[in-house]
Amino acid sequence: MKTGIALFFALVLLGGCESMGPDSRSGSSSPQASEPATASIESEPQPTAEPAPAAGPRIAVLDWSDYENERAEHRQALLASSRQFLSAEEVGYYMDVQKAQLREILHDTDIGLRHESGLIVLSVAGGDGFASNSSRFSPAIEAQLSLIAPILKEFDKTHITVHGHTDDAGEATYNQELSVRRAMSVARFFADAGIAFERIAVVGYGESSPTSSNKTPAGRAKNRRIEIHIQAVVG
């Protein structure tokens, strides 16, 4: 009888030891007793979306219907915010040197250069410079703009206005918007090249100022063009 009782208590003690083995945890902290892992992951707070980046510097868009006044106001604002300006006595020589450097690098390109009323005017594109209904300029135009940009950056006492033009295909209102986008694509190229955005403005003329007939594909291509007007900032 004593032997049976002893055996009974031995079995009870052995069972208690096994329940305290390495795979056993007390209470509800056991993995088997907790909620599935997926539930705990879904209950965690989700990261919020990052805020949109702040808008970068803006290049001024001038109204073509009051272009002369708006350009003068933009130039005056540049003069007030910068020390990069010329005296009246310096203007002639400064612009002549800039024009000579531009003429030297552009003599083998299709970019036209003329000097009028205190302005240096560069005529860019035409031909295949811009595809119809597109503000993206061709690799050939990009190569030519890459020649111009370092000189515009060096001669930093000037105000730069990029003029956009289109052919007459499509609605006039749409062409007006397209001409601004064409000018802006060139202006942004210059800003990316290190030219201070404050010096740059754009204006779009739409289909209103053709240089060639819109009756032929070649003429329309020539009207899809850009002009860059460079004017001294005089203090």
Per-residue pLDDT, 89: 94
> What is the pTM for the complete model shown?
0.72
Per-residue pLDDT, 127: 66
Per-residue pLDDT, 126: 66
Both structure tokens of 218: 């070649």
Per-residue pLDDT, 235: 85
DSSP for 75-123 reads HHHHHHH-S--B-TTTHHHHHHHHHHHHHHHHTTSS-EEEEETTEEEEE
Which contiguous run of DSSP H or E holds residue 17? helix 2-19
CATH 3.30.1360.120 fits 60-232, yes or no: no
Instruction: Provide the β-strand partners of residue 203.
Output: 62, 163
Mean pLDDT (10-residue bins), the chain, 235 residues: 48 45 41 41 36 57 89 84 85 96 92 90 80 83 93 96 94 94 95 95 95 91 92 91
Per-residue pLDDT, 57: 62
Tens-digit pLDDT profile for residues 91-109:
999 999 999 999 999 988 8
Q: Is 130 helix (H, G, I), strand (E, B) or coil?
A: strand
Both structure tokens of 235: 């203090």
Per-residue pLDDT, 74: 87
Q: Is 47 helix (H, G, I), strand (E, B) or coil?
A: coil
Per-residue pLDDT, 52: 38
Tens-digit pLDDT profile for residues 187-205:
999 999 999 999 999 999 9
Per-residue pLDDT, 178: 93
